[in-house]
Structure 1
């Protein structure tokens, strides 16, 4: 029985006085006070109802938002650039109900689509009229920014943030059926996003607020959503479900002019009849003026802030040099942006770097019809030629794995300096040194655990196309093989292998290794099988391998035995199906398998 303290009167109860580390949850305590029969029920930490918004968050990709940390220092229009097109887009977004619902903003790689979308998003956010936004990126697979299935939940989450009156509708719908978050994209858009907006819009206060309502939704990098079918499906869903809404919305869809996207805009009934406006940035007459202002601003910043600015003439650079850079850039901002990143590198003289760019740019392209693409390709090749020859193999491996990390369905650790130091077996700081020549096209993180990123989506288009990048093309096979070796070592170092006549034997030591082995086993399987796909000169149809661990509940089967058998099975598949398709003859034959496994044994001795 718990008694009240004498100095606190008959109704005060002290529980667990001077106790430490006491945790009670969902607990009811009956307290008898004095000699009467009155009980007080005390409920400690009652279990609260689950929060539908918290559940919704599990299906979102908030790294794709305009102000996310993942998108730190995003591209945006420089001051006094793209003024005409920005005014045009803003006027459309603020127009009446007669203006088209959709604006398709398209252009080739580096045309400035993301910079325009970022600038528009920031403008409308300041005015509190940005309803939602999402910036796809195929270079950010781990964050979900390339996953089309995360788009609609992310829009729904922003809807209840920016229009709080819709929150109760959304929470009620999820509480009624939480499986709606795993339903089809069309169901989610109709039952959560559109229904919440429709119920909100018929409220009586809508008439009073209609002039202030958020209604612009910006969706950038549409072509960077991983699956083309998903891209088209999302376009159709958004067009169909919003066609008859009470509250008019405006959508900016920004992408490259991919054939499947253009086809969807051309033929889908809800995307024609005046519902779509199109702006082709490759035909923007003001692009040259905008690039000129951008380049001039960047040179002015160099003269004012560069660590070696005292060595620069105040009149540097000449007007002729600026005109040459602008001519090589138009109509693509990416050339000017990449060139200025290269020139402004803090640890070298900007005038020396500018001269190198000019020397490269003054040589005419091999094919005049491909001048815009050839200009950026030659700039990329020039930048990559600065990689130290002794680091080249490792740098190309790093780039290959950065690309693999962005691919849907293929999971590797965060492509951070820390991971690559472990993978390559190099001292801390070495990865940064290797990549310094590429800082105009990639971004090194502030911490060793964060991901290394590409500054331009078009970079890997260049590196993966051997016709464009030539001898600087990435061989993804080498990246896969390096991952295969890495994960294989992680598995094999968990037990002591012995070898006899080319057959892998094993001595099993005691201990439960399943938790340690299983993640590595899954990775080595994926790495080994995908390596086959990318080592052929052209993609080939490969047999489907169904390699899975035996169920862990099988008695008398030690996890290490499972690991050994799995590795044997993987290499058997490689020997059976891979030899004829490999660029390097015999790479995965039986003897190479033995050498591969034996290399791990030597490391362990």
Structure 2
């Protein structure tokens, strides 16, 4: 067993950017110290491992830390995608889930990837060919010698085009295995889950990626399927409306038909319930908290965008602050007449940043007592960090 330092191939990292920033396939990546174990498969497999973005897998430490769908929410869309993935054959082998930024696409794909993994359906959660080949070698071990043979035959394979890599490292190995001993479609993993395609460096590369994905499916003699999520950019719409992609794909618009308001309301109710039961300052909360109508107002201001709701909850749940005071700050800054979540995000973030500045000033004062001519009074400190009077000393235990 060997441990190597991995630096994702520059082309691979540029195209779907090997570091994980809010999606299964990530944003601008940094080189990380990552252990990839070749399990004694030899130097050729080590060569493949050097081109793997190992933190891109849905069950990597970074992605595992990302939020999944709140329990009891997004039921309809998750059930729809699970049923599609579990089918024995696919009328449409590509499902394009599209929706605006902040709508929760990445959270849904993280959740569905976990579901598919638990059901032994997830083949890969990262597109770039070396990473896909590595995950393929682990998911279908019989493909491993064919993948290693392709690398031995062309040591520069990782610098060739996406299509040439796909042909040599993914398509040919699966076909070879199937010709030797036909694969039982009920026994092997067959779903690719790809998020954040719109974070690719340019629209041409994004469209090329879609074409390569479709070519992979067309060349397989066994059923595979791909779930891809992105924003509804114009070039994606054009690509999915033309030629082979149009015939092979179905579209799933992540819109209000999935009743996001109901899910967001449940999310707020559960989170406020957790705060009442578990928060450090729960004993200072009124019996009937939050006030009547608060949740309805927050749901309306979320405009079916979970990004607004989750930001509000993280702000209020801060373990260092009184939730009642934090909620009051947000409600005072609110303008209930606004109807779009993204119009609300600027004032929401401005309010949050203003409280951070205040807390930072107090933190600096507390950490540098020698520069103060007199001690900071507990009541002053309590008021500044919006804690109940008399609880200032408890703050030092955070």
Which TM-score band applies after superposition, normalised by the shorter structure?
Answer: 0.7 to 0.9
Tell me the distance in 1 between the aligned counterparts of 2:103 and 2:359. 35
Tell me the distance in 1 between the aligned counterparts of 2:165 and 2:136. 13
Tell me the distance in 2 between the aligned counterparts of 1:238 and 1:176. 24
Task: Give SS of 1:385's match.
Answer: helix
- Within-5 A mapping of 1:279-294: 279-294=252-267
The question of 1:388 aligning with 2:362 is answered no
How many angstroms does 1:378 deviate by?
A: 2.2
How many angstroms does 1:310 deviate by?
A: 1.2
- Within-5 A mapping of 1:499-518: none
- Kindly report structure 1 stretches of 4+ aligned residues shifted beyond 3 Å: 389-392
Query: TM-score scaled to structure 1, two decimals?
Result: 0.51
- Within-5 A mapping of 1:295-374: 295-365=268-338, 371-374=340-343
Unaligned runs of 5+ in 1: 1-47, 135-149, 393-436, 438-605
Tell me the distance in 2 between the aligned counterparts of 1:381 and 1:201. 58
Query: TM-score scaled to structure 2, two decimals?
Result: 0.76
Q: Deviations over 1:563-589 (max 9, x none)?
A: xxxxxxxxxxxxxxxxxxxxxxxxxxx
Quickly say closer, same or farther: Cα 1:99–1:357, change in 2 above 3 A: farther
The question of 1:76 aligning with 2:49 is answered no
Tell me the distance in 1 between the aligned counterparts of 2:241 and 2:224. 21
- Within-5 A mapping of 1:55-454: 55-134=47-126, 151-206=128-183, 209-267=184-242, 269-273=243-247, 275-365=248-338, 371-388=340-357
Residues 77, 116 of structure 1: 8 Å contact kept: yes
Greater Cα radius of gyration, structure 1 or 2 = 1
Aligned to 1:454: none
Tell me the distance in 1 between the aligned counterparts of 2:292 and 2:76. 24
Count of paired positions: 323
Residues 75, 114 of structure 1: 8 Å contact kept: no
Residues 220, 255 of structure 1: 8 Å contact kept: yes
Quickly say closer, same or farther: Cα 1:216–1:319, change in 2 above 3 A: farther
Residues 185, 223 of structure 2: 8 Å contact kept: no
Match of 2:45 among 53, 74, 83: 53
> Which has the bigger relative contact order, CA under 8 A and spacing at least 6?
2
How many angstroms does 1:74 deviate by?
A: 0.4
Q: Deviations over 1:198-223 (max 9, x none)?
A: 222333352xx321221111001111
Residues 291, 330 of structure 1: 8 Å contact kept: no
Task: Give SS of 1:218's match.
Answer: strand
Tell me the distance in 2 between the aligned counterparts of 1:306 and 1:215. 43
Aligned to 2:36: none
Unaligned runs of 5+ in 2: 1-39, 362-384, 386-398
Tell me the distance in 1 between the aligned counterparts of 2:354 and 2:310. 19
Task: Give SS of 2:128's match.
Answer: helix
Residues 129, 165 of structure 2: 8 Å contact kept: yes
